Amino acid sequence: MLEQEIFNIKTEALKNISHSSSIEDLKFWRVQYLGRKSRLNEILKGLKDFSLEKRQKIGPLANTIKKEIADFWEQKNRELERSIDWEKEKIDITAPGKKVSGGHLHILTQVQNEIEDIFIAMGFEIADGPEVEKEYYNFNALNIPPHHPARDSQDTFWLKSDENKGTDKILLRTHTSAAQVRYMEKNFPPFRIIVPGRIFRREATDATHEHTFHQFEALVVGDDVNMRHFKHLAEEFFSRFFGKKIKIRLRPSYFPFVEPGFEFDISCTVCGGIGCAACKKTGWLEVGGAGMVNQEVFRAAGYLPRQYQGFAWGFGIERLAMMKYKIDDVRLFHSGDLRFIRQF
Ligand code: PHE
């Protein structure tokens, strides 16, 4: 019975192999007749359960036939390979390619990279700090003690935790300025750094407000750094970023960690300062805050009083991206809407 089956397998296998007209077919038959799960293999694997006499008969027979099928297969394979028309198989390297569609960097990442490149070209180093921050670095070290009214202007996400007691509570940082003292505790002037990063504010969202967004902090400290340096640097940076001449205007303002403090505007990127709808006919666009680093901040960092001076400035990345790419709703950045994302 088993012997007959083995002979039948052989007949069938040789027939199918010899009728194969392509290498693909042939590969299929190899799996069928010689593969791990083929009937022949199963028979060989099952031999151990047979009597000695049966084993001595079936074993060599199955092996011989397996070898015959394999040899026949090899021969047929060589034959088919020889008959391949290699002329036809040649690849036409001049043929137009198929378009492969892939992902790409999110517009915010692209803008962040662009900003970093401009600052690196001007000799800046990139630093960072944690998004989950201590109250100390976000506020106290920046001359914003508890109950200071400036805390109200930055509605804070406080975090619940065992450590969140006493004086060292933790929070989601409300600005990248939180990285200033962290950096200065470990580094001495002169230095020029930027700190790109995500920040959080407990605010209602609308087309121009998000609870989560990104800022860039720049901090330049040395012996005689002053606001003229800031103005020049900012004009240079924004001109490179927008690819056209941009002017800076400072307006006196108050941030506890700078003295004097300013808000700064850039000349309107749409009309160049003449007055249009984008700048509400003023010729200027509000961009961020800046000022000379308050000596109290240097004191918190452990620097000797009056030894150094420097400036700091901060601005939102979303806002810059919105100006450059004419995006009218800040919520689009985190919407995950591919129709938005694929435009950039
Ligand atoms: N940290 C301030 C804010 O988020 C901006 C700022 C940075 C102001 C540096 C002055 C100097 O509003």
Q: 7-21, 158-172, 219-233, 298-312: which has the minimum mean pLDDT? A: 158-172
- State which of 257, 264, 298 you would mutate to test the pocket of ligand 1, scoring each by most atoms of that ligand within 8 A of its C-beta: 257
- The pLDDT, as a whole number, for residue 65 is 93
- Tell me which H or E stretch contains 250: strand 248-253
pLDDT, one tens digit per residue, over 148-184 is: 887 876 689 998 876 656 667 899 999 999 999 999 9
Name the pLDDT band for 254 (thresholds 50, 70, 90).
very high
218 has pLDDT over 90: yes
- The pLDDT, as a whole number, for residue 89 is 80
Looking at the CA of residue 261, tell me the nearest atom of ligand 1.
Answer: 10
- Give the chain's domains with CATH numbers: 2-89 (no CATH), 109-341 (3.30.930.10)
The whole-chain average pLDDT of the chain stands at 92
220 has pLDDT over 80: yes
Closest residue by CA, ligand 1 atom 8? 289
Distance 266 CA to ligand 1 centre (A): 16
Q: How far apart (Å, rounded) are the C-alpha atoms in residues 29 and 76?
A: 11
Distance 257 CA to ligand 1 centre (A): 8
- The pLDDT, as a whole number, for residue 85 is 81
Distance 60 CA to ligand 1 centre (A): 87
Distance 312 CA to ligand 1 centre (A): 8
- Tell me which H or E stretch contains 79: helix 52-83
Name the pLDDT band for 234 (thresholds 50, 70, 90).
very high
Prediction pTM value: 0.71
